[in-house]
Structure formats: C-alpha cells, structure tokens
Amino acid sequence: MATEEYRRKRDFTRTPEPGPARHAGKGSIFVVHRHEARNLHYDLRIQADGVLACWAVPKGFSYFPGDKRLAVRTEDHPFDYKDFEGAIPKGQYGAGTMKIWDTGEYVLRKSPDISHALAKGELKLELMGRRLRGEWHLVRTKAAEGRNWLLFKARDRYAGSGSDLFGGADMSRAQVKPMIRRVSRMEPADGLKPFSDPDWLFEPALVGKRVLASIDDSRVCLRAKSGDLAPRLPLIASHMGRLRAQRALLDGVVVALDRNGAPSDAALDQQLLDDGKGCVLYVFDALYAEDWDLRRLPLAERRSVLRALLPESDTLLLVDATVERGEMLAHAAAESGFPAVIAKRCSSPYRSGSSDDWRRIPLRRITPRKKTAQSAAGHRARVSIPVTHPKKVYWPEQGFTKQDLVAYYDRAANWILPYLAERPLHLYRWPDGIRGKSFYQKKLPEGAPDWIETTNVAREGAEPSFYAVCNDRRTLLTLVNLGTIDLHPWLSRRGSLDSPDWAILDLDPKEAPFADVVKVARILGKLLRGIGVEPYLKTSGSTGLHICIPLKPGFTFDQSRMFCEALARVVVREHPDLATVDRAVSRRAGRVYIDFLQNRREQTVVPPYVVRPVEAASVSMPLSWDELEGDLRINDFTILTAPARIERTGDLFRTALRQPQDLTKAIRALSRQLSSRQLSTSSAAGARRRRRRASLGNARTHSVRWTAASS
C-alpha cells in the first residue's frame, strides 16, 4: 500500500494536511474524522501496512445491525493523518473542516492479517474507541468497480441504537483508568423542605437495598452493605450481563413490591429468601464505563451515559428524574407514598461520602394535593395560575386545549425563561385558537396585571412605549393565558436595546424542499466554523431552521446584519441554484431564502422551546448539528414530545448563554474570504463588494476598539 494518489491530489504548499512520510510500523490504530466538505460525512481510517486505509461514510455510523451504511473506499493516507485536525482551504481536494470524531485501537477478527482481509474485501474489526465499540463489519460490493463497501454493526453486546455509545455525553473530564474495584458510595445530606431550581434534578427516594452494581467481562456483582446479592438475584444479574459495556459500575437500589404495588422492605426480604425474580434494580448513576472513570463528569453527563448503556429490560431500569420541579415532584411523591425525594445538583461530580450536592428531603410534612383531571394531551396538567376558558380548543385537529398550552409552558418555563429574560416582547395572540383571528401585540395590553414588568423601548425624545418583559414563570403563564401562543423577544436586552446579543440567519423554504434547507444549514455551519464561529442550530417550529450566534457586548444591529448578509451572499454566490437573498417569494424560484434582515432593532425571532401556532402544535427545538444527517422532521417536536426530549438531551443552547462570541477574528477571516473570491466581474458588483468590505471593516474596527476598552 502506498500514498502516491494522496500526494498527487494535494498541493502541500496550500493545504495544512501532513505530507507523505515514511510508513509507520505495524500497529492497529483507527481514527474517524468528521469531515465537513461539500457534504458532511465521516472518514474511517484504519492502520494497515504502515499507512491508513480509508473509507468515506456519508451517513455516519449506526449501532443498529440492520442499518447497512455505504462506505466508499478512498485513497490511502499517511499514518501521520491520524492526528490531523484543521481546515482544508477552498480549491484543494477535500476542502472543508476536518475534526477527529473518535480514535482508538482495533482488533482484526477472523483473518490472518489486514492485507489479506482488504484483498478479500471483508473486514471484521473490533473497535475500541470512545464512541465506537464492539465488532463492526466492512464488506466490499461489486458496485463502482469495488470502491463501494457496506459498513454495519455486528450483533454483540454493544448493538442498539444511535451513533455514539455514550449517548453524546461530554466525556472530556472522564479519566482513562482500570476498572474501579472498590468505592465508597456518595450519600445525600439532610435537606429541610422541597425546593425548585433549574440547576437541580429530583428523584423519588426508593425503598429497597442500595447496591453498587458492576460487570467486569462476564462477572456481575451487586454489592450491598450485607455483601454480594448477585447469587440471590440471578435475574437481575442476567440483565446486568446485557449492559452495552464490557465493564461498568452503576449505583442503584434493588426494589420489590408488596401486594398493594408499593416498594416494601418486607417484600424484598422475602424475595431474597426465594428466587428474587420479583425484584427490580433501579439505577440512578454511572461511575465507570468501559475504560473511563466517570466520577469527575457532571451528574447530567453521567446520566446520559447511564441511559445509553441500559438494555431493553423490565428488570433493570433508570430512575425517573425531574429537572427543576422539585416541589411538584415532592407533592406527586407524597401522593404515591414515597418517604422522601432526593435532590441532586446537575453539575455535581460523584464524591464518596455525604455531600451537600445531594439532599434527602423528607415528605412526612407534605400534605398530598387533590388530584387534577387529565389534560387532552394525556398528561397531568398542573399549572401555577387559574386558566380562563381552559377547555377552549386551540388545536382542533389535535384536540389540544388552552389548558394544554398553559400546562406545556408551565412545564417548560425554566427552559424558556433564560431566552426571554430582560427582553422586550411581542405577543402573538390567538384568543380563539389557531383557526381563529390573531394579532401581534407589542405594547402591554390594557387590563394586564400591573405587576408585570415593562420596559420603555422608545428612542430618546420619543413618546414612551412600554413593552412586557418576562423574567419569571408567573409572568410567562399570565401572558399565555391572554391567548398568546408564541412569544417573540427582541435580540437585545433592556439597558442595551441598540446592541444585540444574538445574530440570526433564518432559513425560510416557502416552496423549496426541506432537504434543501438542511443543505443550506450545513453549508452555513461549515462556513461559520471555518472562520472561527461556533453556531447554534434550532428548528423554527414552523417550516424552516434558525442559525443563531451569541454575541459579546459592543456590536450594533448594523454590524450584526452586515455580517450575516456577507455570510448569506457568499452562500448564494457559491450555490445560486440552492439559496437566495431575494425576499420576494415570486422570485425565489424554489430556492431557500436566507433572511439576514431579522438583525434589526425591534425585529424578533422565536426563542427555543416556544410553541408555534401551526397544526402540529410544534415547538422551536434546538438541534445538534449531527441531527441534520438523519430524517429530520420539524413536526416531531411538539408540546407532547418536547419535554421528554429536553429532559433527555438537556438544553443544547445553554452553553450559548455562557459563552457569547467576539466576531473580531471572524470578521477578519470573512473579509479575507470575500477578498479572495471572484464574486463578480461587473463594476456594479465590484462597487457593492467594496461597500460591503468597508462595512465589515467598520464592524471590525468597532469590535477591536471595544475589545481594547474592555481589557
């Protein structure tokens, strides 16, 4: 195997990729690159005869054995490519951003050596990466002169769903260590009374025996204070053997139910004397998985790992947890006869011994509330305010009522409020539901409670104009009770109304297929990352997608709009059949409209998790960029499905609130791109380009001055 083709395709005076070098010795390294080229794909590379044998995998990896993914054989790469990350410049082969997605070692199965397996066209590889584990098969087909292969997962303990063994958890703090043999449990400190806090999650305290459940190859141990319970609980031990991990250590409680269906110590003692088949192991934490000590990870990340590792089972279950709504869970748990709830700080590591990051809150002083009626959505609708006309149907096709809408906002309040806080609001009111009359309301309506906060948005010298500001649950639910379905906050906050803290690109399909919206989003995401900006992605909740950039203070709306316009025009010039910046629908010709004009004072964009007045009762939902690879459908995210998804994934936009971005370097990089591209040959286009560069230059100068002033 050689790298002549690799050398021939590249100009190493322009590309940062490693040049051909001496072949490495024998080894068994694999690496997967996430390659944002013309189309997003993944490059699988395995060490073979001193180089890296490579396949492009357009749709990525699937742990479901029935998913056979195309893998196109490409040229061999030098061994040094295993460490490469960077941006390959436009005009070069494979232009785009290359990042390491996974890496590790592999073991070749059922073949004498890798050369023989490649020649035969059948590789059975046991991968030992962080995302990819277990046995994977690569089989050559006759298509495309043998360049097309099929990649699929073997049926082993790791088979399941998804593309990442650990459920997308951020493993950056996890430590590679040998299997943990002995560890003292983390214990909750005493808590006084129930509370609610978005930085905490809450679980019912289960009556049973606390165990540290481990699997090490085939050996299962259920270590309680009294010793190993595995011999007395063979069914639980059997299901532990089906974990999607060869080595793991979990924390949980063994539970048995009495004749009334309630957890009972007496029932558990009897089960342990019998065969234990009536017991269930409820797990709530993961301390170790495969090769990683997880104890330094935040609890939220550990639970993501735990959820991904559990097999389909009615004997090995995840303890349900509620984020933020501690008081609600306490009342529900009291109604169900639980003795206490456990409050846990979402960011807490796992520490042995008693910790104030976990709190046991007794429920003996709580009076169970009267049960409320089921909502049309099929969920218990508990809301914090009286709802006027609660049975009025807002979504006739779905049967959802005003009560269902208020109940969703009550449940989702702590996810939504950070994106509404301190911002003037426009209210989109539908007092008779989505098939009735509607209107936008900017000024706070007459008759609204006088305790609702407002802010004067009038410019200096103009007549005062007061808009609502929503900083708390009570205000949110009150505004929704006025018939508001979706709330539209400004892109700036009171106190700095002329300085946006979000820049937005709104991808509007109208007559374009949604698949083209996805393509345009990928192109813009790649462009932004290429100039050093981390973009955030969400559905509009209606028909399109929003690309959002959190901004540091100091930029004006003119500057954010011109930056977004420059991005949009780069995409339109490179993909004129796919995208347009023409607002007139009649002139879009089935292309995706990239709307950068939202970046103006008083313009609004719906924030994450807000409901839209469309037939599906869909919600504006944050997405990971990898979700653009699958069968994405906006209507999958509704007032019914959104809460469970958010509790599973967490708030994908939350880091944006903590990490606003300075566009200084991005403006410089984009200016260089604009300078290097042949955008037009006409003098008119040249004049427009010079004006745009001047505008960007002004933005850059402003940003540099602000940076210097704040340092």
Q: Is the predicted pLDDT of residue 369 greater than 70, yes or no?
A: no
* Residue 159 resides in a domain: no
* pLDDT value, residue 367: 61
pLDDT bucket at 443, cuts 50 / 70 / 90: confident
Do both 681 and 586 map to the same domain? yes
Question: What local confidence, expressed as pLDDT, does residue 182 receive?
Answer: 86
Q: Which two tokens stand for residue 64?
A: 């479901």
pLDDT (0 to 100) of residue 690 = 52
Question: What is the predicted pLDDT for the residue at 684?
Answer: 43
> Does any domain span residue 482?
yes
Q: Is there a single domain that holds both residue 530 and residue 569?
A: yes
In a domain, 610, yes or no: no
Which residues span the domain enclosing 414? 393-489
How many folded domains does the chain comprise? 4
Q: Report whether 348 contacts 299 (CB < 8 A).
A: yes
State which of 339, 362, 385 marks the end of a domain: 362
Residues 441 and 476 in one domain: yes
d(CA 321, CA 519): 37
Q: What is the mean pLDDT of residues 636-657?
A: 87
Res 356 pLDDT > 80: yes
Which of 437, 467, 489 represents a domain boundary (last residue)? 489
CATH at residue 648: 3.90.920.10
Contact 248, 289 (CB under 8 A): yes
What is the pLDDT at residue 263? 87
**In the predicted model, is pLDDT for residue 470 greater than 50?**
yes
**CATH classification of the domain holding 232:** 3.30.470.30
* Residues 326 and 192 grouped into a single domain: yes
Are 530 and 674 contained in the same domain?
yes
Q: Are residues 461 and 551 in the same domain?
A: no
pLDDT single digits (tens) 188-234: 999 889 998 878 999 999 999 999 999 999 899 999 999 999 999 99
- Domain end call among 466, 489, 512: 489
Q: What is the mean pLDDT of residues 562-570?
A: 94
Q: Is the pLDDT of residue 72 over 80?
A: yes
Residue 691's pLDDT is: 52
Name residue, tokens 């005003």. 402
Residue 679 has pLDDT above 60, yes or no: no
Helix segments in 434-547, DSSP class H: 473-481, 514-530
Note whether 643 and 525 are same-domain residues. yes
Could you tell me if 233 and 358 lie in one domain? yes
Domain membership of residue 166 (yes or no) is no
In a domain, 495, yes or no: no
Q: Which segment, 147-151, 378-382, 687-691, is predicted with the most confidence on average?
A: 147-151
Q: Do 105 and 187 fall within a single domain?
A: no
Beta strands (DSSP E) in 363-483 are: 393-395, 400-401, 425-429, 439-441, 454-456, 466-468
Q: Which residues of 595-627 are buried (b: 16+ CB within 10 A; e: fewer)?
A: bbebbebebbbbbbbbbbbbebbbbbbbbebeb
Residue predicted with more confidence, 253 or 38: 253
8 Å CB contact between 696 and 704:
no
Q: What is the dihedral of CA 556, 557, 558, 560, to 10 degrees?
A: 90
pLDDT, position 368 = 54
Same domain, 222 and 81: no
Percentage of the residues of the chain whose pLDDT score is greater than 90: 67
Whether 263 is covered by a domain: the verdict is: yes
Say whether pLDDT at 711 is over 50. no
442 and 340 fall within a common domain: no
Residue 367 resides in a domain: no
Under the banding of pLDDT at 50, 70 and 90, the label for residue 705 is very low
Assess if residue 352 is contained within a domain.
Answer: yes
Residues 470 and 512 in one domain: no
Q: Is pLDDT above 60 for 180?
A: yes
Confidence label for 22 from pLDDT (cuts 50, 70 and 90): low
* Residue 117 pLDDT grade (very low, low, confident, very high; cuts 50, 70, 90): very high
